[in-house]
């Protein structure tokens, strides 16, 4: 089992914890991570793009000119695709890009990223993360004491408005709940901060 230090909010080591091998100690599967990431991004697409076909653009009720004798190419309607302001042929229409990925694949992808965070020493475990009042300055100090720099993702076990509101204006820092964990955020943010309660719940859910 991988063993990792546990810090308090002042950046001092208070203990250590053994992480579950099945979640934080597996061989990362890059192919599954990529597959699940593509699925996540596809499911975020709104699919609202739309173009007008020749049946939907205005004008063109009659033939522009007679079929023969003018010396010009024959035309049936100014709504045809070759005309300026004509309809679009084979253009995009509103559609859903959603598709399903196996639940086991999603879980394996998340465990792969968590394991890679441990290997890359990008995981920080706190004994607890509590803020008495909404104050950005307090969260900035916590991150500074922990010596965490760059993009940072904080995963809380349950809703904590004081932590959410204190961290939301810090550039490069995002706070999410455990039930909203996803591969996109785990990959986007370099550093990962987990309170001990989050670690325990992760081991309960993903074991």
Q: Is the pLDDT of residue 1 over 80?
A: no
SS3 label, residue 94: coil
User: What pLDDT is recorded for position 61?
Assistant: 83
**Pairing, β 173-177 against β 123-126:** unpaired
Burial class (CB in 10 A: 0-12, 13-18, 19+), 126: buried
Which stretches of the chain are assigned E, i.e. beta strand? 3-7, 13-18, 123-126, 152-156, 173-177, 191-195
Q: What is the pLDDT of residues 157-170, one digit of tens each?
A: 999 999 999 999 99
Count of Cβ atoms closer than 10 Å to residue 122 Cβ:
17
Q: Which two tokens stand for residue 27?
A: 């061989």
User: What pLDDT is recorded for position 125?
Assistant: 96
Mean pLDDT of 175-197: 96
Mean pLDDT of 102-129: 95
Average pLDDT taken over every residue of the chain:
94
Residue 12: which residues within 8 A CB-CB, separation 6 or more? Answer: none
Task: List the chain domain ranges.
Answer: 3-46+102-206, 51-91
Q: Is the pLDDT of residue 115 over 90?
A: yes
Closest of 43, 137, 55 to residue 98, by C-alpha? 43
36, 29 Cβ separation under 8 angstroms: no
> What single-letter DSSP state applies at residue 133?
S
Q: Is the pLDDT of residue 151 over 90?
A: yes
Mean pLDDT of 35-52: 96
**Pairing, β 152-156 against β 173-177:** parallel
User: What pLDDT is recorded for position 59?
Assistant: 86
User: What pLDDT is recorded for position 166?
Assistant: 95
User: What pLDDT is recorded for position 207?
Assistant: 76
Instruction: Give the pTM.
Output: 0.85
Cα 188 to Cα 150: distance, rounded to the nearest angstrom: 11
Mean pLDDT of 108-122: 96
Mean pLDDT of 7-11: 93
Q: Is the pLDDT of residue 80 over 80?
A: yes
CATH number of 3-46+102-206: 3.40.1370.10
Q: Which two tokens stand for residue 29?
A: 């599967």
């Amino acid at each position: 089992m991988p063993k990792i230090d546990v810090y308090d909010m002042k950046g001092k080591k208070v203990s250590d914890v053994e992480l579950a091998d099945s979640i934080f100690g597996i061989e990362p599967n890059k192919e599954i991570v990529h597959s699940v990431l593509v699925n996540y991004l596809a499911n975020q697409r709104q699919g609202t793009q739309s173009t007008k076909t020749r049946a939907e653009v205005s004008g063109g009720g009659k033939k522009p000119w007679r079929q023969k004798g003018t010396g010009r190419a024959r035309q049936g309607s100014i709504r045809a695709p070759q005309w300026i302001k004509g309809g679009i042929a084979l253009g995009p229409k509103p559609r859903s890009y959603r598709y399903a990925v196996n639940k086991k694949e999603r879980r394996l992808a998340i465990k792969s990223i968590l394991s890679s965070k441990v290997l890359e020493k990008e995981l920080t475990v706190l004994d607890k993360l509590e803020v008495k009042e909404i104050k950005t300055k307090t969260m900035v100090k916590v991150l500074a004491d922990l010596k965490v720099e760059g993009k940072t993702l904080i995963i809380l076990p349950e809703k904590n408005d004081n932590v959410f509101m204190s961290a939301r204006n810090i550039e490069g820092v995002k706070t999410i709940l455990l039930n909203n964990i996803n591969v996109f955020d785990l990959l986007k943010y370099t550093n990962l901060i987990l309170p001990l309660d989050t670690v325990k719940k992760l081991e309960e859910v993903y074991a």
